[in-house]
Amino acid sequence: MTDTPPTYTSAQVRALIDRHRTVRRYRPDPLPQEHLDTLLYAAQRAPTDATAQMYSFIRLTDPAVRAQVAELTANPHLASAPESFVVCMDVHRLALLLEHSGYTPGHFPGVAVHFGVGDAVLAGQSMLLAAELLGYQGCWIGGVLTHLDQLVELLALPEGVLPFAGLTIGLPDEHPAQRPRVQRKLVLHENRYREPELHELDEALRRMAPITARGDWAQTLARYFAVGGSMEQREQVLQRVLSRQQLSAHSQPESVG
Ligand SMILES: Cc1cc2nc3c(=O)[nH]c(=O)nc-3n(C[C@H](O)[C@H](O)[C@H](O)COP(=O)(O)O)c2cc1C
């Protein structure tokens, strides 16, 4: 066996990774077909659990649908970006394949969400990375959760299909500074989970402060994740839609598909 030399140096890889910025304002230039094909190719080449490919992309091309999705998610760039997608987990197609071949799909809603969302994220992020390598930028949009039930209806998503997030892509028309991250020590554990020390939490808050207007990351986090924050509202909607899409532990056993 011969060792294959690395194709890029660490510095080159970091330079490519450092291109990433979430961008929400795009130039109107459409993607050439060749680039769009490359993005979709990258999405489909992502690793996928059991090679089952438990995801679907809804490409938004109809201006009316784009406008409605933009409104439902409160992310206007879903209407204006050169490319807009809703990236979904999808075990519906899996059920169809099984039934078509004479098998009865099993009942595993929790596992379906676990692996389906994983597959969707991997495919979507692979697409975004390919886009960034081609000089584009993008934005993931978790705002799909805000009016998830209406979105499921609008996109005619069958049982077993659940939006994970929107994804917009295009040439950037804004150039934000690179956004900070917490220190590596907090996200990398060795062999067993290590509780952070209080001074490390202080440092994380200090590092992240510049991304907020008031320099207070905790306040921003609280708006989303504290008691009374927006995630509690999203939780109710998500539980309702999980049930409707037959992806809740309380769904009836007979149908994922
Ligand atoms: C799953 C996910 C959901 C997100 N949802 C939204 C969103 O709804 N609206 C938005 O403007 N940005 C959204 N973002 C973008 C994040 O705000 C952004 O990634 C973060 O601020 C870090 O900035 P950076 O990507 O430029 O490093 C989302 C990102 C992820 C990964």
Give 152-193 pLDDT, tens digit per residue: 999 999 999 999 999 999 999 999 999 999 999 999 999 999
Closest CA to 137 of 167, 179, 164, 180: 167
pLDDT > 70 fraction of the chain, expressed in percent and rounded: 96
Question: What does the alpha-carbon distance between residue 216 and residue 208 come to, in Å, rounded to a whole number?
Answer: 8
Residue 188's pLDDT is 98
Q: How are strands ordered across the β-sheet holding 83-90?
A: 55-59, 83-90, 161-170, 137-141
Contacts of 125 (CB under 8 A, 6+ apart): 46
Pocket of ligand 1 contains residue 139 by CB under 6 Å: yes
Task: Tell me the CB-side half-sphere exposure of residue 247, using CA atoms within 13 A.
Answer: 26
Give the chain's largest Cα–Cα span.
Answer: 59
pLDDT score for 5: 74
Compute, in angstroms, the gap from residue 111 CA to the centroid of ligand 1.
25
The answer to whether residues 118 and 49 touch, using CB atoms and an 8 Å cutoff, is yes
Buried b (16+ CB within 10 A) or exposed e, 220-234: eeeeeeeeeeeeeeb
Reported as a pLDDT band with limits 50, 70 and 90, residue 255 is very low
Residue 230 reports pLDDT greater than 90? yes
Atom from ligand 1 closest to the CA of residue 211: 21
256 within 8 A of 117, measured Cβ to Cβ: no
Q: Which of 2-16, 152-166, 190-204, 213-227 has the lowest mean pLDDT?
A: 2-16
Looking at residue 237, what is its pLDDT? Answer: 95
State pLDDT tens for residues 45-68. 999 999 999 999 999 999 999 999
List strand residue ranges (DSSP E) for the chain, in order.
55-59, 83-90, 137-141, 161-170
Residue % of the chain over a pLDDT of 90: 93
Domains and CATH numbers, the chain: 10-175 (3.40.109.10)
- Give the pLDDT confidence score for residue 250 in this predicted structure: 78
Provide Rg for the chain, Cα atoms.
20
pLDDT for residue 4: 77
pLDDT band at 253 (very low <50, low <70, confident <90, very high): low
22 ligand 1 Cβ < 6 A: yes
Map residue 94 onto helix, strand or coil.
Answer: helix
- Answer whether residue 76 shows pLDDT above 70: yes
Query: Is the CB of 75 inside a 6 Å radius of any atom of ligand 1?
Result: yes
> pTM for the full model?
0.95
pLDDT (tens digit per residue) in 114-144: 999 999 999 999 999 999 999 999 999 999 9
Question: How much is the pLDDT for 252?
Answer: 60
Q: Answer yes or no: is the C-beta of 165 below 6 A from any ligand 1 atom.
A: yes
CA 183 to chain centre: 23
